[in-house]
Amino acid sequence: MPYSIMLDAGHGGRDPGAVYNGRSEKDDTLALTLAVGEILQSRGVDVLYTRTTDVYETPYQKAMEANEAGVDFFVSIHRNSSPEANTYSGVESLIFDRSGIKLEMAEDINDQLEAVGFVNLGVKERPGLVVLRRTDMPAVLVEAGFINSDTDNLLFDNNFNDIAAAIADGILDTLQRNGDLPDNGLTAGSYTVQAGAFRNGAYADRLQQELLEQDFPAVISQDNGIYRVTVGTYPTLDEAAAMERRLKRAGYQTVIVSA
């Protein structure tokens, strides 16, 4: 059975969320949520949505939809805001408490978004949020940059596809470590170390060349519009972990991928 996840585009309808210079959070979150869902579906994850159009539902209704659907995970996507514009920037993920697989997923999402270029503000507890408190499954709320930060908005607009891929990859990183996902082309029982995943093939080419110049055996694979840069193929997890340690010491964000 594939994993199932409900994606929630924050706000909607009569609730615009945070606004800045004519920009509404509800529009950014819907576009990003649909893009993330497309990637997850291409990797065999069963994706449901709280909304796919500009409609409003209360946070309680969204939590109940997830509970009734019986999904494995709930991820809500938002944009952050501060009292004064251009005061803060970066991404953070919110969870009910710092425990379990939800913490792991929140950290994985943040790490992937940091690799795109955001400041990583960490994972924070928010037990009062309804979509985190009333959902029966592990739930994460992602704040994809500050909507009233010109720096974050420039990054959001110029790297939209990479940001969607980063959130999806953060989710997939967690799922891959905790269960089975559809075949990724590796020989059964083998492992590789992923150093990057991009919608833009030029970014993958650049990363591969950078790794090759440091004598890392990097290759690029392409699947459903995602270009993945991986290093080596190893028969044991210990060997893959040794390469992952080398890459992390060299400053790369990595994840071990198993067949």
- 130-153 pLDDT tens trace: 999 999 999 999 999 999 999 999
Looking at residue 178, what is its pLDDT? 80
Looking at residue 180, what is its pLDDT? 53
pLDDT at 234 over 80: yes
pLDDT at 254 over 50: yes
Looking at residue 189, what is its pLDDT? 54
Distance in angstroms (rounded) separating the CA atoms of residues 16 and 202: 35
pTM greater than 0.85: no
Q: Which of 2-6, 22-26, 177-181 has the largest mean confidence?
A: 22-26
Q: Residue 176: which pLDDT band, with cuts at 50, 70 and 90?
A: confident
Q: Residue 183: which pLDDT band, with cuts at 50, 70 and 90?
A: very low
Residue at token pair 């990054």: 155
Q: Residue 116: which pLDDT band, with cuts at 50, 70 and 90?
A: very high
* pLDDT, average across residues 6-14: 97
Chain segment 186-224, per-residue pLDDT in tens? 454 578 888 888 888 899 999 999 999 999 999 999 877
Looking at residue 105, what is its pLDDT? 96
Q: What is the percentage of the chain residues whose pLDDT exceeds 90?
A: 69
Mean pLDDT of the chain: 90
Kindly report the number of other CB atoms within 10 A of residue 69's CB atom: 15
Looking at residue 133, what is its pLDDT? 97
b/e 214-229 (16+ beta carbons within 10 angstroms → b): eebebeebeeeebbbb
Contacts of 100 (CB under 8 A, 6+ apart): 138
Kindly report the number of other CB atoms within 10 A of residue 34's CB atom: 17
Q: What is the percentage of the chain residues whose pLDDT exceeds 70?
A: 95
Alpha carbon distances (Å) from 224 to 15, 16, 38: 34, 32, 10
Chain segment 51-101, per-residue pLDDT in tens? 999 999 999 999 999 999 999 999 999 999 999 999 999 999 999 999 999
